[in-house]
Amino acid sequence: MKYAAAIMFSFLVLVSCSQGDSAVSGTVEGGLRVLGVDNGKDKLEYTIYRGDYIVFDFASAGTRDFNVPGLEINTVMPKSADETPYIKMKQSGDYEFTLGGRSGTFHVLELVDPSYTEVSAGEASDLIKNVNPLIVDVRTEAEYNSGHIPGAGLLPVQVFADNLGKLEQYKDKDILLYCASGNRSTVAARILIDAGFTRVYNLRHGFGDWARSGNPVE
């Protein structure tokens, strides 16, 4: 039975990957990946996932200039109260950065798991036609209402981890996840895999690519 009814939630917290992954830096608190900076080392080095929402844990007050030239990030941390508090890692690869007077490197990883497959818009269309997966939109309610893949249910990434029980019957069935560009759906995919789901598909370039490719939209 397709999970067709949209589940409407207000914004609560941002969800990131599992706290139990020892290969990844920092800790997950309130859905944000918190990276420590007071480790006594001259150069900072972090391993994180593409799609993670990151903030820094500063022991002292004040802002620090934060620059990641390879990702065109030029801001200050912590951000002001009227801005989103986090930085989202949208691309995998190794990126040099500076934070205040210190330098460092981000190692941004792609999710790789036997239970996980990334698909193009064309592959997703074939999957829907031939396999009839559960389709889950992990964007916001406003984004969903502005247009979505036919038959998709809404479960925003902000509350995804708290509502896995709604997907329990699909633990060993095909699930296709998507967001706007493929980042939030990667976060949701990691949550499913960590919870033991075995057949997870991610629309790699998101709903934007789906619509641009001429696929149907509701």
State residue 31's pLDDT score: 59
| 210 neighbors 120 (Cβ within 8 angstroms) | no
Instruction: Please write the tens of the pLDDT for every residue from 135-148.
Output: 999 999 999 999 99
Number of domains into which the chain is organized: 2
Q: Tokens at residue 218, please? A: 């509701």
Residues 93 and 134 in one domain: no
Tell me which residues are annotated as active site. Answer: 179
pLDDT at 14: 31
Give the pLDDT confidence score for residue 142 in this predicted structure.
97
| Among 54, 83, 109, residue at a domain's last position | 109
Q: What percent of the chain has pLDDT over 70?
A: 87
Mean pLDDT in residue range 50-77: 90
Confirm whether 60 is domain-assigned: yes
Average pLDDT over residues 97-109: 93
CB 52 within 8 A of CB 26: no
CATH number, domain at 156? Answer: 3.40.250.10
Q: Is residue 177 part of a domain?
A: yes
Which residue, of 65, 87, 109, is where some domain finishes? Answer: 109
Examine residue 78 and say whether the peptide bond preceding it is cis (omega within 30 degrees of 0): yes
HEC sequence for 106-117: EEEECCCCCCEE
